[in-house]
Chains A and B, each alone.
Chain A
Amino acid sequence: MQTKENKQSPNDLIPGYLKGELSVEETGELVSWIKLDNANKRYFDEYCEIWITAKASLKNPGYHIQEGFWKFKQKIKVNEDLKIDFNKTNIFKIITRYAAIFIVAASLSGLLFYYIGRNRVTNPKQSFSELIVPLGSRAQFSLSDGTTVTLNAGSRLKYDNRFGIKDRVVQLEGEGYFKVAKYKERPFTVKTSHLNVMALGTTFNVKAYSDDKTIETTLVEGSIKIEQITDKSSPEVMVLKPNQKLTFYKEDSKMVDETAGPKSKTENNTQPLQVQKSIIIPRLVAENVNVEPVISWKENRWIFEKQSLSRIAVELERKFDVQIIFESERLKTFRFTGIILAEPIEQVLEVMSISAPINYKLKGRVVTLSENKNFEELNKSMYNQQ
């Protein structure tokens, strides 16, 4: 690299910047030069415009018009569709069952749908492709067999470039909703850190974040077989039916209170689980569930049933790419039930602070939550009794 010349002229730095090849120091030098004089700024602006205009006349500049237009059509269609019909029965059932409901009409800026071409990192030298969805966004795309996948924030999906030829295997870290195309000869397999999920033609959700204590698989339609990855000769296998959720506990010594326990959710007065240090529980637990809350992350509807604030905070951090700090330990155990239809994060926080004893402060990407002691309906029973 150029180290002999300590000071490069702007005419050397500018092409480098346009090509994205300047080091941070060199970019700093360029910035300093620009700051010296308005004429410098103007000169620089002109060069930048010439460069991008030259790129715009290329046949293949790395952006795809049809793809962009398709995405646009999807977004405006969704905007029209998402005028929520509150007569939809299942949402109504949830509403009438629980207290502390908060529903806010959506302002639908910022729906993010990436198309497969954009997020894919394909290296022809290597034999696989990997889709990486950063925090604060979602991705929806189709695989070559017609399977559609929606990936939640902070997720990665990896698959062989020869996917579909011999078998259909993908590797998931994070959360994905799969609508698998029927293809009898080749079962579709989602591999996670501890479990393999196999399906034929079916719709299911897999939640396997590396920093979560559990892996959750929920079946919406069809049937799937879940197998534990282990070097034991007879691994545990479970077959799920629709509306069943399988929870796999990575550590088998403790059951943590924040996760949904192995009780059905039909009653309103489920006892919160006691944290016991020495109990041994089975690692794979299946239960019947309402799939709505499990998959609501895909839409802009966000449903939670008696979720503790600490778990909700984890979801918020991922979805909005923020950091959440609790000023009160007790606040972490507060349980929410309800539906939020709001983005961005400011609205979500606003809604929560209206219907729950929470004060929030949002500064940059950091949210601080504290107890609102003046909250009128402060109801002790809303907190966990331990």
Chain B
Amino acid sequence: MEFSNLQFINGIQKGDIAVFEELFKQYYIFLCLIAEHIVRNPYDAEEIVSDVFVRLWNIRKNIEITTSIKAYLVKAVHNTSLNYLERHRISNKLSDSLSNSDYELLAWDSDYPLGQLYEKEIMNILDQGISSLPDACREIFILSRNEGMTYYKIAGKLGISVNTVKTQMKIALARLRENLKDYLMILLFFIGI
């Protein structure tokens, strides 16, 4: 079922559980990925996203969403994840020299327009970009993204060196970024490759 932004917001206010289910279908995974990127833990990520939805449910009668429901959810998950960082030590290793504020730095900036790429049109461009990668490069990127394989495992599986895998990943990401150039407000910035 295709809901417009307004239909989403009305459905939320009415406590329409079918609308919430649709929200989950569309945004749950993306939101979990955002949270996981920040807190570095998939279980905590799910808890954070779940809490955001529960909070939304609890205040549903009084919500005022001036932007889109997507922007609202992304912001809520982003903020909750950052708060989580403040309250918990991310790493269990005593020897970890990174502070919580370092991990905050590795999360997105509060005023970074997170989520603008999460649109059908743009994701199609991303998919096309991946398909048009040179064969070996594409295979490496897909093994990385889809299976979460480490450099070492990919190298082993394809019978190549770890350095080659690293290089190809670098190339793949750079090309994808190039494909999306128009959609990111990019400050073109050359770093010696």
Contact surface of A with B, Cβ cutoff 8 Å: 2, 9-12, 14-21, 24, 27-28, 30-31, 34-35, 39-58, 61-63, 65, 68-69, 71-73, 75-76, 79, 109-110, 112, 114, 118-119
Contacts and interface: CB of A to CB of B under 8 A. Distances in A.
A46 B173 CA distance: 11
Nearest to B112: A45
Contact of A76 (B32, B46, B54, B98): B54
Contacts of A19: 144, 148, 150-151, 169
Contacts of B29: 56, 61, 63, 65
B156 interface: no
Contacts of B49: 68
Contact of B102 (A31, A53, A54): A31
A24 B140 CA distance: 24
Interface residues of B, number: 69
A147 B85 CA distance: 36
A61 B33 contact: yes
Contact of A21 (B47, B114, B123, B151): B151
Contacts of A61: 29, 33
B129 to A, nearest CB: 9
B121 to A, nearest CB: 12
Contacts of A16: 151, 166
A325 B106 CA distance: 34
Given A28-B98, A41-B109, A53-B122, A72 B53 contact: yes
Interface string B147-176: 010110000000000010010011001101
B28 A68 contact: yes
A126 B83 CA distance: 38
A50 B191 contact: no
B30 A56 contact: yes
B37 A52 contact: yes
- The 3 A-B residue pairs whose C-beta atoms are closest, nearest first, are A15-B169, A52-B33, A69-B24
Contacts of B174: 11
B184 A46 contact: yes
Contact of B105 (A41, A43, A73, A79): A41
Residue in B42, B102, B163 with the greatest tally of chain A CB atoms within 10 Å? B102
B173 A42 contact: no
Given A46-B184, A54-B126, A118-B46, A27 B24 contact: no
Contacts of A54: 126, 130, 145, 176
A379 B53 CA distance: 46
A9 B193 contact: yes
Contacts of A73: 17
B34 interface: yes
B46 A68 contact: yes
A34 B105 contact: yes
Nearest to A42: B187
B173 A50 contact: yes
Contacts of A40: 189
B180 interface: yes
Given A54-B176, A61-B33, A69-B24, 12 more contacts: A9-B191, A24-B91, A39-B189, A42-B112, A46-B186, A50-B176, A50-B177, A53-B123, A63-B28, A63-B29, A71-B50, A75-B50
